[in-house]
Chains A and B, each alone.
Chain A
Amino acid sequence: MPELRFEMPSNLPELAECLAGAGDDTRLLGGGTDLLLQLPALRFQGTTLIDLSGMRELSEMRFEKDVLEIGANVTYARIAQDPFIRSRIPCLAAMAARIGSPQIRNCACLPGNLVNASPGGDAIGTILALDARVRLLNGAGAIRECAIDELVLGIGKTSLSRNEAIIGVRIPIPASPWNAYGKIGLTPRREVIIANVSLTMVFEITEPDRRIRAARMVLGSTSPRAHRVSSAEALCVDQVPSSELAREVAEALKRDVAGTIGANPAFQHKLNDVRGLALDLFHELFALEL
């Protein structure tokens, strides 16, 4: 029987050492909530797992001036419960709060979602909407940073090389807390769902005139990888949030989805969901009657 090998570095130099020796059959193990599903297959072909859970330094969240750095081992449960994130980056807290179930959120972390690169990966869209950057360590011990759309390339595809690991995600802290996240499931259930559509909206709004200066809107689950919808973003610039704006944005997002899904009958319901979801987020952020 092929072997299952296990490595457990406890600091960055040890991790770099492990990465330097990584082969095609090497996998990094984060929370394991995606990877362990593949384990039966991996076991048959022989695999080396590099378990990151022993690396204390990756379990930290650090706030620097206007950037939040989330270590690779920080679980969704911690992100969802963090008071600062909840008040300043509510879209991130909301996204984390709706990953899987409590059991999943107690194990799973951001990097696994990015590397798994599923079209339904919820973190990818929110991280993209927040214009975050990913920190990577390689086998030579060097650290580089890249944007999320440089990392995630397509379904199951990333630019990560086999001797690289994500060690953290750096998120610019939005100047104002006008951001929100929502998802509607592929199945009729409300919780423990894979997204049929997910949506993150990040607004920059100036007081006191309450005008939107800039908007970033990212759709997940409607294309091979999460993407920004510039047509919807453009509608918002210099506008005051209103019911009309909400409806226009909902229509723009719907048109975008129509363009990406084409005629596939299995996807048509995304058109209804995206409209509903867009109105939900406007309602949540601006208490508009919709």
Chain B
Amino acid sequence: MPAAGLKYIGKSIPIHDVREKATGALRYAGDLKLHGVLHAKLVLSEIAHGRVKHLDLEQALAVPGVVGIYTYRDAPDHPYNSHQWLEGMEVQKDELIFTDHVRFHGDRIAAVVAETREASERAARLVHVEYDELPAVIDPEAAGLLNATPIHASGNHIVHKRIACGDAESRMRDADLVIEDRIETPKVHHAAMETHGCIAEVDAQGTITVRTPCQVIFQVQLIVSQALGLPMDKVRVLKTTLGGSFGGKGQPILEPVAAFLALKVGKPVRLVLDRTETILSTRTRTKAIGRVRTGVDRKGRIVAREIHMLVDTGAYCTNGEVIPMAMGKKSFRLYQIQDQIFEADVVYTNTPVAGACRGYGSPQICAVTEINLDHAARALGMDPVEFRMRNLVHPYNADPAGGPSIGNARIRDCVTKGSDLFQWREKSARPKGGGRIARGIGMACCTHGNGYYGGFPDFITVDLRLTPDGAVVIKGAFHDLGCGTVMTMMQIAAEVLDLDPSSILIPDADTLVCPFDSAGTQASRVTYVCGGAVHQAAGELKRKLLESAATLLAEPISGLRLEQGYVIGSSGRASYQEIAQYAQRQLRSDLCVNLLYQSPGNPASYGAHFAEVEVDRITGRVRVLDYVAVHDVGQAINTGFVEGQIQGSVQMGLGMALMEELTFDARGRVTSSRFSRYTVPNAPEMPNVRVALIEEGEESGPFGAKSIGEIATVPVAPAIINAINDALGTRISVMPATPERIVAAIQDV
């Protein structure tokens, strides 16, 4: 529904490239055909930990069509951290293009470059690697032990983090009940439809151009330049159409490799992974083991809480130092808890590398704390909704840990609306079913941020120009990952300028063309920060448009208004086209704006999810029967996109709750490296997800909007696990709750 008085905001308009996507006309990185392109295939470690003793390339080099094989002996020795997105950020630089100290099953040892894909694959199979195998550390709880084999020279413990407010320790002593849990969330694969891939080429001046489906062009530029020891202006990055990312393409992984190979062979190099390579050697969601103690009083108020998260970042650090802070901050912004300690320890393990994954730590901490809160409600004999309502924040409550204002925080509205829609009261009065099939309900609340304000520099520069043919071109580092960023920006500009979105053009992000953006598509900042920039810049452009129109129409600005591509005055009107041309000819001016926009804040987004499940006590199989998701989005810019994000998020969260998990054998080799072994929920698993939005507006967001894409997956797993526990009276503490684990939990009751 368009909001009152608004023409484009709140409307469902299909994504800008819907036609090309539906007809198959769109080209993804893997589809691009560059003249003379060569094909690269990675040689990945087959073991979880060890040293490469010997590499035998002879047979591989003999394969017809092979151009070269490049290994850790050839690659530059410039360590980097792929998570770094700004020059000067302090990070652990522990990654290299290739390595002879392999630290996980899937670590990069070498790459074959050949004239055809077939030849590259054939040769890569013929590279014989001999290893000196080292003990693999798979269990994060064992990683920090004294006898654990060190994965990096610095040891396996990376960092300890702490956030605290009040005096949790002594307040805990006053609690009537203390409820403790240990809850484990899995390492999961992002499972974007498009696997990872990119193409790099070098021109005669030695400038490398990388075409890549990425989330942050300037980060790719930075990492490629660091890894290769080149000035940044020698690297140009063009974002290609993304077939999904979910954070998995947030960090540059293949780009430095492809760029290195292109430099070596002097020709364009295409490096596209298959599914198994993508599962093994890109990024995963961070595995976490949370321990939580919540002290409550008899009235159902939380008096104190202590949380400890053990964060398993895998074989390389990437965002391991940042993700615990992202987790921790959320636990101070959802409930009114004045006395709380959050601590985290981050460790290396010999497992695939963790990175950004939709929610950036929030789904993990939310699972830990929201499952624990249901146990608390149960221990108090209190309804979980009622219990939460006694503790949830109110709009504009202060963050007791000193974070930015939570803004117009409408979580209580979400819970109220959701319980009504879900018929929580009626459903909770129903019997659970004592026979083979048990039924239960569960819910969970969540919060997430809107950008980096308060943590990292958060600003974007955008260029807007009204062309002499009446169109608007917006240049900025926007990265549509498939979720509608471009159309969202178009709708914002369209609303301000009263212009049909089809007259607005937003080219794909390109480091050479787009003005600088400090952080890219991360941290749920796009609608709130980048959208805020477009909103303000469009306002500037409107002002310039009116100024020129005032001269053209010889009327004061105050009497002019915009309507559907025209400026209307009392005596006449002029089209945007006429005004732009008039400005060029008569005023020697161009209707353009270059605007630096600094994020004004970091309000919190909220959501409440409700799930009803049926569990087979014999087989441990779960069916999610009904699902309600209510989100405080401030204002939906495009209602269809918002709903789409929520629907997809529920599917992703359902996977984390019930089936998705990277599994390992005793030596640490991944046993779930293909989709027949790594199961994602498909359409038949999905309940009818009913979505409702709370749109009460966030003053600092464009038209009142705030984030949705990440937060919507945050509460799904705990809502479902709480429903299973409600059905069975179990205390499931390890996700995913597979049939085996559910049957075991029933036996423990």
Contacts and interface: CB of A to CB of B under 8 A. Distances in A.
B661 to A, nearest CB: 10
Contacts of B739: 188, 269, 272-273
A189 B679 contact: yes
A84 interface: no
Contact of A269 (B122, B616, B658, B743): B743
Contacts of B679: 187-189
Interface stretch (A17-25, A46-54, A190-198, A210-218): A190-198
A276 B437 CA distance: 11
B621 A279 contact: no
**Residue with the highest number of chain B CB atoms closer than 10 Å, among A40, A187, A194:** A187
B139 interface: no
Interface string A176-207: 00000000100111111010000000000000
A1 interface: yes
A290 interface: yes
B650 to A, nearest CB: 16
A191 B682 contact: yes
A277 B623 CA distance: 16
Nearest to B65: A1
B122 A272 contact: no
A188 B436 contact: no
A192 B683 CA distance: 10
Nearest to B671: A266
**Residue with the highest number of chain A CB atoms closer than 10 Å, among B64, B622, B681, B739:** B739
A43 interface: yes
B64 A276 contact: no
Contacts of A277: 619
A99 to B, nearest CB: 14
Nearest to B619: A276
A272 B618 contact: yes
Interface string B725-749: 0000000000010111001000000
B121 interface: yes
B interface, size bucket: 20 to 34
B118 A43 contact: yes
Given A1-B64, A189-B682, A272 B620 contact: yes
A164 to B, nearest CB: 29
Interface in A42-70: 43-44
B685 A272 contact: no
Contacts of B36: none
Contacts of A188: 621-622, 658-659, 679, 736, 738-739
Nearest to B657: A188
Contacts of B685: 189-191
A43 B116 CA distance: 14
A275 interface: yes
B170 interface: no
Contacts of A275: 618-619
B88 interface: no
Contacts of B620: 269, 272
B743 A44 contact: no
Given A40-B121, A290-B436, A189 B616 contact: no
Contact of B684 (A44, A190, A279): A190
A44 B123 CA distance: 11
Contacts of A290: 436
Contacts of B125: 44
B436 A279 contact: yes
B676 interface: yes
Contact of A279 (B618, B676, B682): B618
Contact of B681 (A189, A268, A276, A279): A189
Nearest to B274: A40
Contacts of A1: 64, 118-119
Given A184-B619, A272-B739, A192 B659 contact: no
B116 to A, nearest CB: 9
A13 to B, nearest CB: 36
**Residue with the highest number of chain A CB atoms closer than 10 Å, among B125, B659, B679:** B679
B436 A191 contact: no
B618 A192 contact: no
A40 B119 CA distance: 12
Contacts of A268: 740
Contact of B682 (A40, A192, A272, A273): A192
A190 B618 CA distance: 16
B140 to A, nearest CB: 22
A40 to B, nearest CB: 7
A-B pairs with the 9 shortest C-beta distances?
A: A187-B679, A276-B619, A276-B618, A191-B684, A188-B659, A269-B740, A272-B619, A273-B619, A188-B658
Given A190-B621, A272-B743, 5 more contacts: A188-B658, A272-B618, A275-B619, A276-B621, A279-B436
Interface of B: 64, 118-119, 121-122, 125, 436, 616, 618-623, 658-659, 676, 679, 681-682, 684-685, 736, 738-740, 743
17 contacts: A1-B64, A1-B118, A184-B619, A188-B622, A188-B659, A189-B659, A189-B684, A190-B621, A191-B682, A191-B684, A192-B684, A194-B676, A269-B620, A272-B620, A272-B739, A272-B743, A276-B618
